[in-house]
Structure 1
Amino acid sequence: MRIKINEILDFWFVETPDEKKFKKDLKFDQVIKNKFLNDYELAIQNKLDSWQDTARGCLALIILLDQFSRNLFRESGKAFDQDEKSRSVLLKIIANNFLDEMNENERLFALLPLIHSENISDHEKAYKLMEKYLKNHSELEKIKKFWLDHTAPIKKFGRYPHRNKVLNRVSSKNEIEFLNSSNSSW
């Protein structure tokens, strides 16, 4: 299993340029599907839960459940199905002080389940952890802006309106106005 953990982390943190990680790229999505769909399916069946015994294993699970899910199931509600599980893996990371074993870029991705949450208290927790664990990150100002942009709709609507369609939620008039504005997407 350690080999698979390393394969996931090397793919994400060594082989994949940062600019690919947050862009819509169907070819990149297909690469992830070809390489990691089976691992994702094992993870959602709890067959990789033993990975939670180490910092690297937890991080690999978060990449599978929180990042790859968004590539595997783009434009589908399934993209968000594992958000709660990835959040619980992060809570295990925090409880075991595994963030201390990660570099700042790894910490950034470990913390993203809190920013992907639609619970404002998770966003507040993310900011506190950012101040402690990402204070020396070379891209700190970009990270702060990215996180603030993600928190704004949660503060305003209590959820991410851009998920409404794929989650079969009805958008309010204010959410529709927000979605039609130029600042609704990151």
Structure 2
Amino acid sequence: MIDNDDARPWHEVLAFWFPEGSAPGIDPERHTEHWRWRLHGGADEAITARFADLTARAVEGALDHWAVTPEGRLALIVVLDQFPRSLWRGTPRAFAQDPAALTLALAGLENGHYAAQPAPWFQIAFTQPLGHAEGPDHLERIDRLIALREGVAARSPEALQPLYHSLVAQAGEVRAVIAAFSRHPHRNAILGRVSTPAEIAWLARGAFPHQRALLD
């Protein structure tokens, strides 16, 4: 049983990560700026100041009970999938929680928590671990991610269609990277991995899909 005091932290996470709320009639330009803020490091300082301790607790498993509700599961996915990338940017810890976030997302796709999300942008955040977590089934998961984003785009308000179709395209670019290398080469130096010649050539181009959250 989750009481109101226990639920407050995940409400704070969702209010922070989705300042536009969940109402469908949002301004497209403002919404796009929120996406850039979320995914291009604009939230780093605030995450460090407000959520460092909370993220540490989540990493220890102390917040696993959040996942009993759709909104709590989404908040925990955000904390494990996104907040480490801000707190520990440029270190292996930035990616260490990807498997845990993936497990939460996959379970939520099966138990109805994904479908229960109140807005397209909540569903996009819910499924980001499918593309982030490396592993032998990575390509299969990205194919699923693309299909899910196509569904989100189709259900989105007309004014938001360009944004969500761009996120479909971005997932397609990530798919091409994983199909070629079976991993995210931009993490190699951080994780102490030796890059292949093909990866070195790709890295030299500097065209990283993860740095272009919104395609032109």
What is the TM-score when the length of structure 1 is the normalising length? Answer: 0.92
Alignment partner, residue 99 of structure 2:
84
Q: Secondary structure at the match of 1:81?
A: coil
Cα separation, 2, equivalents of 1:135 and 1:117: 26
Decide which of 29, 36, 39 is 1:19's aligned counterpart: 36
Alignment partner, residue 36 of structure 1:
51
Cα separation, 2, equivalents of 1:104 and 1:68: 20
Indicate conservation of the 8 Å contact 1:120/1:155, yes or no. yes
Indicate conservation of the 8 Å contact 1:154/1:160, yes or no. yes
Alignment partner, residue 5 of structure 1:
10
Question: What amino acid is the match of 1:70?
Answer: R
Instruction: Mark the CA change 1:184 to 1:133 in structure 2 (over 3 Å): closer, same or farther.
Output: closer
Decide which of 133, 146, 171 is 1:147's aligned counterpart: 171
Query: What is the alpha-carbon root mean square deviation over aligned residues?
Result: 1.6
Question: What amino acid is the match of 1:76?
Answer: T
Cα separation, 2, equivalents of 1:72 and 1:100: 29
Alignment partner, residue 121 of structure 1:
140
Cα distance per residue 1:34-80 (max 9 Å; x no partner): 10111111111111111110000100001101011111111111110
Indicate conservation of the 8 Å contact 2:150/2:168, yes or no. no
* Consecutive aligned runs of 4 or more in structure 1 exceeding 6 Å deviation: none
Cα distance per residue 1:8-47 (max 9 Å; x no partner): 000000169222112134xx31210110111111111111
Instruction: Mark the CA change 1:89 to 1:134 in structure 2 (over 3 Å): closer, same or farther.
Output: farther
Cα separation, 2, equivalents of 1:111 and 1:182: 25
Question: What amino acid is the match of 2:150?
Answer: E
Single out whichever of 60-69 and 9-18 deviates more from structure 2: 9-18
Cα separation, 1, equivalents of 2:166 and 2:12: 28
Question: What amino acid is the match of 1:35?
Answer: R
Map 1:24-173 onto structure 2 (within 5 A): 24-25=41-42, 28-102=43-117, 103-118=119-134, 119-137=138-156, 138=160, 139-173=163-197
| Deviation of the 1:182 alpha carbon | 4.0
Indicate conservation of the 8 Å contact 2:178/2:184, yes or no. yes
| Deviation of the 1:125 alpha carbon | 1.7
Alignment partner, residue 28 of structure 2:
none
Indicate conservation of the 8 Å contact 1:107/1:134, yes or no. no
What is the TM-score when the length of structure 2 is the normalising length? Answer: 0.80
- Identity over the aligned pairs, expressed in percent? 29
Alignment partner, residue 183 of structure 1:
207
| Unmatched tracts of structure 2, length 5 or more | 1-5, 21-32, 212-216
Q: Secondary structure at the match of 1:100?
A: coil
Question: What amino acid is the match of 2:208?
Answer: S
